[in-house]
Amino acid sequence: MKRHTRVLEKYSKAKDLEKKTRVLFSARKEVDINAGGTSGYIVKHGTHKGKVLGHRIVKSNNNW
């Protein structure tokens, strides 16, 4: 059984890392873009509350 110990420990560590990554990924909060008709992100808290930080610009490739 000693020869399998390293393989089993490696598998266990990989599964633990995968589980932690999945939990962190599901716990993150998404940024609300295009809410209220804007094309950018609006700051909701702090001294710059209500300020639009950036806009998404989509260039048209329909140039005749």
Q: What is the pTM of this model?
A: 0.44
- Weakly modelled stretches of the chain, pLDDT under 50: none
> In whole angstroms, what is the distance from residue 13 CA to residue 19 CA?
10
CA–centroid distance for 60 within its chain: 28
At 35 the pLDDT is 61
pLDDT number for residue 32: 62
User: What's residue 13's pLDDT?
Assistant: 96
Amino acid at residue number 24: L
Whole-angstrom distance, CA of residue 38 vs CA of residue 33: 8
- State the first-to-last Cα distance of the chain, in angstroms, to the nearest integer: 72
Instruction: Return the pLDDT at 38.
Output: 60
Report pLDDT for 12.
Answer: 95
Residue 34, Ramachandran bin (φ over 0: left; ψ between -120 and 50: alpha; else beta) = left
